[in-house]
Amino acid sequence: MTAARFTGISLAALIAATLASAASAQTIYVSNEKDNTLSVIDGKTMAVTDTIKVGKRPRGITLSRDGTQLFICASDDHTVQVFDLASKTVVHNLPSGEDPEQFALSPDGKSLIIANEDSNIVTVVDVPTRKVAFQVDVGVEPEGMDVSPDGRWGVNTSETTSMVHWIDMEKRAVVDNTLVGPRPRYAQFTKDGSQLWVSSEIGGTVSVIDTATRQVKKVVDFHIKGVAKDRIQPVGVKLTGDGRYAFVALGPANHVAVVDAKTFEVKDYLLVGRRVWHLALTPDQKMLYTTNGVSGDVSVIDVDSLKVTKTVKVGRYPWGVAVKG
């Protein structure tokens, strides 16, 4: 009796859980830089279900750790908006410093580190108190941001200075700098934190940096038949959690490169929309979404088959993308 009931409950729970995951599926959020809107895509139907007005020139977006809120860099409003996903409203603004472009959330979800592109500063905001914790000076046009999985390092790339600035989050200071290829746009740590991958838009390369020594250990180069070398301009980078792939958005080359994250060999180039900028993986790592600025759409890539399965039209100049699981 007890055993039977137990089975019944667990079966019901299992069914409920399966239903819930299928029903909630995934929701994809895309910031449209030139429309001042957010496009909401249903991950199951791949249809845009909502277009929501947000602040001016929305660029970088990222989910809160609990997945209930979306942080939006409203660059021309000089603020980071905190958007509540359930009520679809901006609940408050965070003090971001001038012209925020990209940001990264610390692993504990409490610190947001923000690149202030026009003022050569990185602002670190304490999310719970909504106050600026500290600011540090970095190079010209800070852009790419990430925080190491152990929370020790905040990193920032500066585009005109062409460096990675290593911010010791405890000391609240830049303690090291790594020179990379011209115009570094994006930085991402590997899941174990041992490497930092940095794209260089004008250099046309991705630098893999050893976190322990802060030295470049590998430079990944790209060659696409029929595409001029100077049109290959890497921007967004996404690493799969299993350490298998690095996906690199190649800007006006209109391709996403698939890099073997262990051997650093480029395995494939996937044709996507025009001027592919940023990337986001689903939490289950099965799908990759790309924002294509010039064609105003999002490409959907199946990670297992490495095929582009769908293109979804969004607003003008889609920039940032985030996926809620």
Binding site for other proteins (CB under 8 A): 99, 117-118, 120, 137, 139-141, 158-163, 165, 174, 177, 179, 182-183, 201-203, 228-231, 233, 252
- Closest distance to other proteins from the beta carbon of 56 (Å): 13
Q: What is the DSSP string of 191-233?
A: TTSSEEEEEETTTTEEEEEETTTTEEEEEEE---TTS-GGG--
Closer by beta carbon to other proteins, 106 or else 233: 233
Closer by beta carbon to other proteins, 141 or else 289: 141
Q: CA–CA separation, 237 vs 325, rounded Å? A: 20
Question: What spatial distance separates the first Cα and last Cα of the chain, rounded to whole Å?
Answer: 37
Tokens of 278: 């940023």
Q: CA–CA separation, 95 vs 176, rounded Å? A: 26
Q: CA–CA separation, 138 vs 299, rounded Å? A: 34
- Closest distance to other proteins from the beta carbon of 82 (Å): 25
Q: Which of 214, 217, 181, 213 lies closest to 199, judged by CA?
A: 181
Map tokens 């980071």 to a residue. Answer: 80
- Closest distance to other proteins from the beta carbon of 201 (Å): 8
Closer by beta carbon to other proteins, 238 or else 275: 275
Closer by beta carbon to other proteins, 33 or else 297: 33
- Closest distance to other proteins from the beta carbon of 244 (Å): 31
Closer by beta carbon to other proteins, 235 or else 312: 235
- Closest distance to other proteins from the beta carbon of 99 (Å): 7
- Closest distance to other proteins from the beta carbon of 117 (Å): 6
Q: How many CA atoms lie within 13 A of 238 on its CB side?
A: 24
Q: CA–CA separation, 246 vs 263, rounded Å? A: 11
Closer by beta carbon to other proteins, 62 or else 75: 75
Q: CA–CA separation, 147 vs 184, rounded Å? A: 16
